[in-house]
Amino acid sequence: MLKQILPKWFLGLSASAWLLVNTFVCGLLVLLLGIVKLLIPLKFISTALHFFYGMWCKGNHIGLRIASDKIQVRLPKELHAQGWYLLISNHLSWLDIVVLSAMEVLPAPKFFLKDELKYIPFIGTGAWAMGMPFMKRASKAQIAKNPKLKGMDVERTKSSCRNFRDHPTTVINFVEGTRHTKAKHQRQQSPFKHLLKPKAGGVAFALEVLSDQLDGMLNATLVYELDGEHICRSFMLGRVNTIDIKIDYIAMADIPLGNYQSDKAYRVQFQAFMNTVWQRKDSQLEAHWLRRSAPEDTLSEEIKQL
**Assigned CATH for 2-304:** 3.40.1130
Query: pTM value?
Result: 0.83
Judged against a pLDDT cut of 60, whether residue 85 lies above it is answered with yes
Contact between 173 and 110 (Cβ < 8 Å): no
**pLDDT tier at 118 (50, 70, 90 boundaries)?**
confident
Q: Is the pLDDT assigned to residue 305 strictly greater than 50?
A: no
| pLDDT at residue 306 is higher than 50 | no
Residue 164: how many other CB atoms lie within 10 Å: 25
Task: Count the Cβ atoms, other than its own, within 10 Å of residue 231.
Answer: 20
pLDDT band for position 4 (cuts 50, 70, 90): confident
Give the start-to-end residue ranges of the domains of the chain.
2-304
Assess whether pLDDT exceeds 60 at residue 300: no
pLDDT digits (tens, 9 = 90+) for 39-55: 887 778 888 888 998 99
Tell me the pLDDT band of 158, cut-offs 50, 70 and 90: low
Q: Mean pLDDT over all residues of the chain?
A: 84
C-alpha span between 20 and 250 (Å, rounded): 34
User: Is residue 87 within 8 Å of residue 170, measured between CB atoms?
Assistant: yes
Looking at the DSSP bridge assignments, the partners of residue 114 are 135
Residue 154 to residue 135: CA distance in whole angstroms: 9
What does the pLDDT read at residue 278?
Answer: 96
Model confidence at 15: pLDDT above 90: yes
pLDDT per position as a tens digit, 62-83: 999 998 878 999 999 999 888 9
Identify the residue with better confidence: 220 or 289. Answer: 220
Q: How confident is the model at residue 132 (pLDDT cuts 50, 70, 90)?
A: confident
List of E strands, the chain: 70-74, 85-89, 109-111, 113-114, 134-135, 170-174, 216-226, 240-250
pLDDT at 57: 92
- Tens of pLDDT, residue by residue over 202-217, are 888 888 878 888 999 9
Cα 76 from Cα 105, distance rounded (Å): 11
Write out pLDDT tens, residues 190-200: 999 999 999 98
Q: Quick check: 298 pLDDT over 90? A: no
Lowest-pLDDT range of 98-107, 115-124, 142-151: 142-151
pLDDT exceeds cutoff 60 at 122:
yes
Give the pLDDT confidence of 248-287 residue by residue, as tens digits: 999 999 999 998 878 899 999 999 999 999 999 999 999 9
pLDDT above 50 (res 87): yes
Mean local confidence (pLDDT), 8-30:
92
% of the chain beyond a pLDDT of 90: 47
How far is the C-alpha of 56 from the C-alpha of 297, rounded, in Å?
A: 45
Indicate the pairing of strand 240-250 with strand 134-135. Answer: unpaired
Which residues lie below 8 Å from residue 237, measured CB to CB, with a gap of 6+? Answer: 8, 9, 12, 13, 228
